[in-house]
């Protein structure tokens, strides 16, 4: 019977652990010119060069704007035609019912004229703020009284030669329905209906960036840092862009050196180390809620709690931030905000109590915290060596992938074909 059991002594094996020096993960800098350069300054130079690569080219900026305006006009024209058809159907239906009563007929004409609304499309998110990465989606919201507009657009856009028909996906079951599609230049779009929240958040970000323009470099770096680790999507429990930005604003508003006027660009490496140390090691996630300009006691049990500064503004008064012509039902918007979850828009999130908390869908924050901590430890340990610029060290944090390189080539090709040669 003893043979039926595996003895512990027989299964016990000595595990051999091998130590790897950190230098086995970095490579020599063949263009080394200044061995006396400090480690931090060398890292800072690498970060600035990397951000310069991520910076959109003039061709991409022009092409994005060109295609975005084309798509907006297509959507508006399609919705107008859809609304006109619906109004004609309603008028024909009314004529059959109201022939007996001429007074009702006149009232019907007045009502049908009032129902004709002017649809409008507005961009928000990273495209509007200029904080987009290579290949980033373009977020749009359509304002119209036609609640079935996205469903109709799913069909009409599939017939348009500027859009890949197979790319169209209508997420109708999401709390906030989204129509996703891709144009012939491979720009991807997320179109939602009558959503004011994203516009308010975008206006808030732009307003804060005006106060500190160089904060955008920090934001773009962190966005790419999390994207390459697939930790940036709320539907996967990641830290989505808007939540990232509020955390970064909190860091900037409370950092003593920044408040004393330290220059951002020459100190990006130091500030990133401080950021990773704060949110990877020092911050008390159990006790505090992150606000864009401070902290307050935490009132929920979720791992991460972030207060949305926009949610305390009057949602029925959009004119505080943007053009007066953008109008929306306050009741409808508030209802959408209460129901919002990670299946809908990634620009804001609400907790189970209905109050605004951007941290609610970030269920993977524990892993993100570990990534921040490891990034801080590995680079701070390496900084103890007097390396100068003998090694390229930024790949310990991030590195450029093939996608970004291919994207640059594709953008140049489409720019020449569509903008220069007008082959569209």
pLDDT, tens digit, for every residue of 305-321? 999 998 544 444 444 44
Tens digits of residue pLDDT in 197-242:
999 999 999 999 999 999 999 999 999 999 999 999 988 899 999 9
Tens digits of residue pLDDT in 363-402:
999 999 999 999 999 898 887 766 666 667 788 898 888 8
Tens digits of residue pLDDT in 264-316:
999 999 999 999 999 999 999 999 999 999 999 999 999 999 999 985 444 44
- pLDDT beyond 70 at 422: yes
Tens digits of residue pLDDT in 74-91:
999 999 988 887 666 655
- List, in sequence order, every beta strand (DSSP E) within 56-161: 120-124, 138-143
Tokens representing 96 are 């059959």
pTM: 0.80
List the domain boundaries for the chain. 58-194, 214-369
The CA-based dihedral angle spanning residues 418, 419, 420, 423, taken in that order and rounded to the nearest 10 degrees: 30
Average pLDDT over residues 156-178: 93
Contacts of 38 (CB under 8 A, 6+ apart): 388
Task: Tell which residue, 59, 344, 342, 310, has the closest CA to residue 177.
Answer: 344
Average pLDDT over residues 33-51: 84
As a whole number, the mean pLDDT across the chain is: 81
Burial annotation 190-210 (CB, 10 A radius, 16+ → b, else e) = bbbbbbbbbbbbbbbbeebbe
Check whether domain 58-194 has CATH 3.30.420.40, yes or no: no
């Amino acid at each position: 019977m003893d043979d039926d059991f595996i003895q512990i002594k027989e299964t016990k094996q000595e595990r051999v652990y091998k130590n790897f020096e950190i230098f086995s993960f970095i490579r020599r800098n063949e263009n080394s010119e200044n061995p006396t350069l400090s480690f931090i300054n060398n890292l800072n130079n690498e970060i600035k060069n990397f951000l310069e690569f991520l910076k959109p080219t003039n061709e991409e900026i022009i092409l994005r704007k060109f295609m975005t305006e084309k798509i907006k006009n297509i959507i508006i024209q399609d919705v107008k035609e859809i609304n006109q058809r619906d109004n004609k159907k309603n008028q024909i239906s009314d004529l059959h019912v109201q022939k007996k009563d001429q007074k009702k007929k006149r009232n019907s004409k007045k009502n049908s004229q009032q129902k004709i609304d002017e649809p409008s499309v507005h961009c928000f998110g990273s495209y509007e703020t200029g904080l987009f990465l290579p290949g980033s989606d373009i977020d749009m919201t359509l304002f119209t009284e036609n609640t079935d507009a996205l469903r109709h657009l799913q069909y009409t856009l599939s017939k348009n030669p500027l859009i890949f028909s197979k790319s169209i996906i209508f997420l109708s079951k999401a709390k906030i329905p989204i129509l996703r599609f891709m144009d012939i230049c491979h720009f991807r779009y997320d179109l939602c209906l009558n959503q004011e929240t994203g516009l308010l958040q975008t206006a808030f970000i732009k307003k804060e960036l005006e106060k500190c323009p160089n904060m955008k470099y920090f934001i773009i770096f962190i966005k790419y840092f999390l994207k390459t680790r697939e930790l940036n999507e709320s539907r996967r429990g990641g830290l989505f862009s808007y939540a990232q930005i509020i955390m970064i604003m909190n860091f900037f508003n409370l950092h003593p050196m920044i408040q004393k006027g330290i220059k951002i660009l020459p100190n990006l490496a130091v500030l990133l180390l401080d950021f990773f140390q704060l949110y990877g090691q020092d911050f008390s996630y159990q006790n505090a809620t992150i606000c864009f300009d401070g902290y307050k006691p935490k009132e929920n049990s979720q791992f991460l709690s972030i207060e949305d500064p926009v949610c305390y503004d009057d949602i029925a008064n959009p004119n505080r931030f943007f053009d007066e012509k953008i109008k929306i039902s306050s009741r409808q918007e508030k209802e959408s905000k209460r129901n919002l979850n990670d299946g809908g828009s990634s620009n804001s999130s609400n907790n189970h109590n209905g109050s605004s908390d951007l941290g609610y869908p970030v269920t993977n924050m524990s892993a993100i915290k570990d990534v921040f901590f490891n990034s801080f430890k590995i680079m701070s340990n390496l900084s103890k060596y007097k390396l100068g610029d003998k090694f390229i060290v930024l790949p310990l944090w991030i590195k450029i992938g093939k996608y970004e390189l291919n994207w640059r080539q594709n953008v140049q090709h489409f720019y020449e074909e569509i903008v220069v040669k007008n082959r569209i």
